[in-house]
Amino acid sequence: MELAALVALTLLLGALVILVAVAVGRRKEEIREEIEQAAEFAAEGSGAKGPASKKQKQDKQRSRKDKAAQHTFSHTLLAASLKSHSGNVTCLDFSSNGKYLASCADDRTVRIWSTKDFLDREHKCLRANVELDHATLVRFSPDSRAFITWLANGDTIRIFKMMKKEDGTLSFKAAPEDFPQKHKATILNIGIAETGKFIMSASTDTSIHIWDLKGEVLASINTNQITNSYAAISPCGRFVASCGFTPDVKVWEVCFGKGGEFKEVARAFDLKGHSAGVHAFAFSNNSHRMVTVSKDGTWKLWNTDVEYKKQQDPYLLKTVPCASSEGSLVALSPDGRVVAISNGSNIAMYNAASGELEEELHSVHSGEITDLRFDINGRFLVCSGDKAIRVFHNAPGYRASIRDMQDMLKKAQNEAMKQRLQQQIKDAQSALDTVLAGPVD
Ligand SMILES: *[C@@H]1O[C@H](CO)[C@@H](O)[C@H](O)[C@H]1NC(C)=O
Ligand SMILES: *[C@@H]1O[C@H](CO)[C@@H](O)[C@H](O)[C@H]1NC(C)=O
Ligand SMILES: *[C@@H]1O[C@H](CO)[C@@H](O)[C@H](O)[C@H]1NC(C)=O
């Protein structure tokens, strides 16, 4: 009992240290990486100098024009607005090493942002051009050294590799061949499994294709959900799930043999409980929790940490009324503590355990929210819905972890543990206060 409590405490404190991002005794390796990363982005900035003075002038004129038409938005939780795209942003993705955020827009570019300077005044980004087309979806590869895109006109997947040039800057190179065209209807999502074993693409007409990394179709799934509204790979890379017109969310396991060869796609489990179609779903980072948002006017939190092969079913943890409509999206913080749901251009943030509505963000963008996700440390919530990307502090996440520590403090047996918890709560509270008092764009 004592040991279990100690292990739990250690884990919790571990997570909190990351959350609060207290830079105590940073290792040399980290510092080296930081310097490298600074070089990757700095050189891009300097590349625009010199012959580009005319271009800079044009940029300035354009940005002045854009400003007039720009949607204004402010909120105490707004940490940054990332503005470089000249077209509407449709998709966002964080690299699994936590260093980058990728965005794509109908301006024929993919932008790679450094997550490290979210809180700085300047937000540098690197640009990858999508020749003769534009990307509507972008997903990082597990090693964070490549990304896949969905081509709006090409109607298929193109892979880009990130390469370090001699001067240390990053550049991007498209693979010589795009994947073959296989989808006949509007694309919903693409993904690469964290295991690096497969790529997924899904369209509204209930078809999901499982590909190898070279663009060969390994298997095709018919979801039988009449129409689909969303599909995704689980963060553990084992499962593919889909939702749509029917009230159930279906989950499959993509199975590989011991030698890494593809075996089959097998039905794993369903989430049954909504009384109408499901707009979207999301996983926690270890795939142990899922959240769903439905036309029935609720979101539901599920425990999916089950052994489905032993006939265990996932079970419902929470049902909470919420505003939703066609196109609503949902995000779950990596630790499963916070649920964010979009409705049109509004976002609501809930405590996942209590179901309490904690934050409402109104008219965040001039258009409907096109993507919504937490960064890998659960510090920020990001979204798109026009040319800008908004970055919010995940204040409900900070509050939830403080509350969890306060609960542990009540149960704490010995004095040393109590003191440690009290100190941790104080630190977390002051980190939250700092975040909330920080500069607002
Ligand atoms: C949700 O979005 C729909 C469509 O944009 C809108 O009609 C409705 O008023 C919104 N509900 C709330 C509570 O904001
Ligand atoms: C970009 O989004 C805005 C706001 O939703 C919309 O008015 C505009 O038509 C969009 N532009 C394009 C090119 O789709
Ligand atoms: C999930 O996120 C938590 C909190 O950010 C972190 O402590 C944990 O290591 C992550 N787990 C995985 C499997 O990525």
Domain identity same for 352 and 402: no
Q: How confident is the model at residue 24 (pLDDT cuts 50, 70, 90)?
A: very low
Together in a domain, 275 and 236? yes
Over residues 366-390, mean pLDDT: 97
The closest-lying atom of ligand 3 relative to the alpha carbon of residue 19 is 5
Nearest 10 degrees: Cα torsion 171, 175, 179, 184:
30
| pLDDT of 43 | 52
Ligand nearest to the CA of 387: 2
pLDDT reading at 34 higher than 90: no
Report the pLDDT value the prediction gives residue 314, as an integer from 0 to 100.
96
Q: Cβ contacts of residue 34 below 8 Å, gap of 6+?
A: 116
Nearest ligand 1 atom to the CA of 345 is 5
Instruction: Report the DSSP pairing between strands 389-393 and 78-82.
Output: antiparallel
Question: Considering only 27-31, 140-144, 218-222, 424-428, which range has the smallest mean pLDDT?
Answer: 27-31
Q: How far apart are CA 205 and CA 207, in angstroms?
A: 6
Asked whether 204 lines ligand 1 (CB < 6 A), one says no
Answer yes or no: do 301 and 401 share one domain: no
The count of structural domains within the chain is 2
At 68 the pLDDT is: 46
Of all protein residues, the one whose alpha carbon is nearest to atom 5 of ligand 1 is 344
Residue 187 covered by a domain: yes
For residue 77, report the distance from its CA to the centre of ligand 1, in Å.
Answer: 22
CA-nearest residue for atom 10, ligand 2, is 88
236, part of any domain: yes
Structure tokens at 102: 């990728």
Q: Which residues line ligand 3 (CB under 6 A)?
A: 15, 18, 285-286, 334-335, 377-378
**Which element (helix H / strand E) includes 78?**
strand 78-82
For residue 225, the CA-to-ligand 1 centroid distance in Å is: 25
For residues 220 and 205, state if they share a domain. yes
Cβ 299 vs Cβ 350: under 8 Å: yes
Categorize the per-residue pLDDT at 69 as very low, low, confident or very high, splitting at 50, 70 and 90.
low
Same-domain check for residues 338 and 357:
yes
Same domain, 278 and 382: yes
Whether 68 is in a domain gets the answer no
Does the residue 304 lie in any domain?
yes
Per DSSP bridges, beta strands 357-361 and 100-105 are: unpaired
8 Å CB contact between 237 and 221: no
Q: Which of 294, 295, 324, 325 to mutate to test the pocket of ligand 1 (most atoms within 8 A of CB)?
A: 325
Residue 366 C-alpha to ligand 2 middle, in angstroms? 8
Q: In this structure, what CATH number is given to the domain that contains residue 310?
A: 2.130.10.10
- Distance, CA of 63 to CA of 103 (rounded, Å): 19
264 in Cβ contact with 295 (< 8 Å)? no
- 34 or 57, which is more confident: 34
pLDDT tens per residue, range 243-268? 999 999 999 999 999 999 999 999 99
* Residue ranges making up the domain that contains 172: 76-393
Once rounded to an integer, what is the mean pLDDT over residues 200-224?
97
**In whole angstroms, what is the distance from residue 201 CA to residue 256 CA?**
18
DSSP annotation of 85:
-
Are 389 and 403 within one domain? no
Kindly indicate the confidence band of residue 71, based on its pLDDT and cuts at 50, 70 and 90. confident
Average pLDDT of the chain, as a whole number: 88
pLDDT value at position 196? 96
19 assigned to some structural domain: no
356/286 same-domain check? yes
Say if residue 321 is in the same domain as residue 383. yes
Atom of ligand 2 nearest to the CA of 385: 5
* Domain boundary pick from 356, 375, 393: 393
User: CB-based burial of residue 297 (10 Å sphere; 0-12 exposed, 13-18 middle, 19+ buried)?
Assistant: middle
| Verdict on whether the full-model pTM lies above 0.95 | no
Strand ordering across the sheet containing 262-271: 228-233, 239-244, 249-256, 262-271
Q: For residues 394 and 374, give the distance between their C-alpha atoms in angstroms, rounded to a whole number.
A: 8
Atom of ligand 3 nearest to the CA of 376: 5
Nearest to 189 by CA among 8, 420, 371, 431: 371
Compute the distance from residue 332 Cα to the ligand 1 centre, in Å. Answer: 21
When pLDDT is cut at 50, 70 and 90, the band that residue 62 belongs to is low
Decide: 327 in ligand 1 pocket, CB within 6 A: no
Evaluate whether residue 31 is within a structural domain.
no
149: which strand partners? Answer: 138, 158
* 379 and 409, same domain (yes or no): no
383 and 417 belong to one structural domain:
no
3-state secondary structure of 91: strand
Q: Are 191 and 233 in contact (CB under 8 A)?
A: yes
Question: What is the reported pLDDT for 23?
Answer: 39
**Inside any domain, residue 196:** yes
233 and 311 in one domain?
yes
Is residue 186, in this structure, part of any structural domain at all?
yes
